[in-house]
């Protein structure tokens, strides 16, 4: 369903992704790991249209979606929840959710906000509070809620657990897994932590030298040691 072939992305004159291929099936949750600075965020941004694709192919649902703007991607069902829980800090929680519905008609957005409040009652309690006053975990919930407003069929999550305690991390990742299974989303999720990646994903892939260097299917019950080694040398 998401097909990336021979992708090349050059940033500041340096090829960050170079010949990368990755295929993600419908409703699959793929965990993406790799050393800091290896290009994980760049890969998600290139799929969402935030960095230009120099060569190669990105197809979603059979259509070529490379080098389109973020708005077009959202209309095709692709949403990126960026690294660091990006929200409009000065605006109330509910206004953030309304802004996330900028591609929908306002009545539909209001309905979607109620769905998100059912998922995250905490956000409903804090609906009138400025987003900048939320705790780290609540902010991640808001960023995730904003990502879910347009009902994406492909959700790109960049380190949803950064800065959270181990307990909150497990809770957020369990939330991600439950929500995506319930909503029938396809997910690519970047994780720094291998254990977390294994927790949330059907398959974990390792980004090494601009390509997918190793992959591990979680269901297979296979030894995860090669995965840990691949990550250590990524």
Ligand X SMILES: Nc1ncnc2c1ncn2[C@@H]1O[C@H](COP(=O)(O)OP(=O)(O)OP(=O)(O)O)[C@@H](O)[C@H]1O
CA distances from 155 to 9, 63, 75, 146 (A): 21, 17, 13, 11
Pick from ligand X, Mg ion, none: which does 129 bind, CB < 5 to 8 A by kind? none
Pick from Mg ion, ligand X, none: which does 188 bind, CB < 5 to 8 A by kind? none
> Residues binding ligand X: what is the number (CB under 6 A)?
12
Segment near ligand X (CB under 6 A); pick from 30-38, 54-62, 65-73, 130-138: 30-38
The answer to the question of residue 39 lying near ligand X (CB under 6 A) is yes
Cα 76 to chain centroid distance, Å, stands at: 16
Q: Helix or strand or coil: residue 127?
A: coil
Quick one: tokens of 150? 């347009």
Smaller CB separation from Mg ion, 192 or 224: 192
Please check whether residue 116 is in contact with residue 148, taking contact to mean a CB–CB distance below 8 angstroms: yes
Q: What is the CA radius of gyration of the chain?
A: 17
Return the percent helix, strand and coil in the chain, to nearest 5: 40, 25, 35
Which x/- pattern over 14-43 shows residues binding Mg ion (rule: CB under 5 A)? --------------------------xx--
Binding ligand X (rule: CB under 6 A), the pick from 7, 20, 22, 42 is 42
The answer to the question of residue 196 lying near ligand X (CB under 6 A) is no
Question: Binding to Mg ion (CB under 5 A): which residues in 191-210?
Answer: none
Quick one: tokens of 86? 């990006």
The answer to the question of residue 16 lying near ligand X (CB under 6 A) is yes
Pick from ligand X, Mg ion, none: which does 16 bind, CB < 5 to 8 A by kind? ligand X
Q: How many residues does the chain have?
A: 234
Q: How far apart, in whole angstroms, are the C-alpha atoms of residue 20 and residue 43?
A: 9
Please check whether residue 15 is in contact with residue 2, taking contact to mean a CB–CB distance below 8 angstroms: no
The answer to the question of residue 13 lying near ligand X (CB under 6 A) is no
Query: CA torsion sign, 98 to 101 to 102 to 106?
Result: negative
Smaller CB separation from ligand X, 61 or 84: 84
Binding ligand X (rule: CB under 6 A), the pick from 41, 46, 73, 169 is 41
Which x/- pattern over 38-77 shows residues binding Mg ion (rule: CB under 5 A)? --xx------------------------------------
Which residues of this chain interact with ligand X, rule CB under 6 A?
A: 11-12, 16, 34, 36-42, 83
């Amino acid at each position: 369903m998401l097909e990336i072939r021979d992708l090349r992305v050059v940033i500041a004159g340096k090829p960050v992704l170079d010949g990368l291929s990755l295929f993600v099936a419908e409703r699959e949750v793929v965990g993406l790991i790799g050393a800091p600075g290896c290009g994980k965020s760049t890969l998600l941004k290139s799929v969402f249209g935030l960095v230009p694709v120099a060569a190669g192919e990105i197809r979603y649902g059979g259509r070529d979606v490379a080098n389109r703007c973020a708005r077009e991607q959202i209309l095709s069902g692709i949403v990126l929840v960026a690294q660091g829980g990006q929200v409009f800090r000065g605006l109330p929680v509910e206004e953030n959710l309304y802004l996330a519905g900028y591609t929908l008609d306002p009545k539909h957005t209001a309905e979607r906000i109620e769905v998100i409040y059912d998922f995250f009652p905490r956000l409903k309690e804090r609906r009138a509070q400025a987003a900048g006053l939320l705790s780290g975990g609540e902010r991640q919930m808001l960023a995730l809620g904003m990502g879910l407003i347009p009902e994406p069929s492909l959700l790109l999550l960049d380190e949803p657990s950064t800065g959270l305690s181990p307990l909150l991390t497990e809770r957020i990742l369990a939330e991600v897994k439950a929500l995506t299974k319930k909503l029938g989303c396809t997910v690519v999720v970047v994780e720094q932590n291998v254990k977390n990646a294994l927790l949330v994903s059907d398959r974990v892939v390792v980004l090494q030298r601009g390509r997918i260097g190793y992959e591990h299917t979680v269901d297979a019950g296979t030894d995860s040691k090669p995965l840990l080694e691949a990550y250590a040398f990524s």
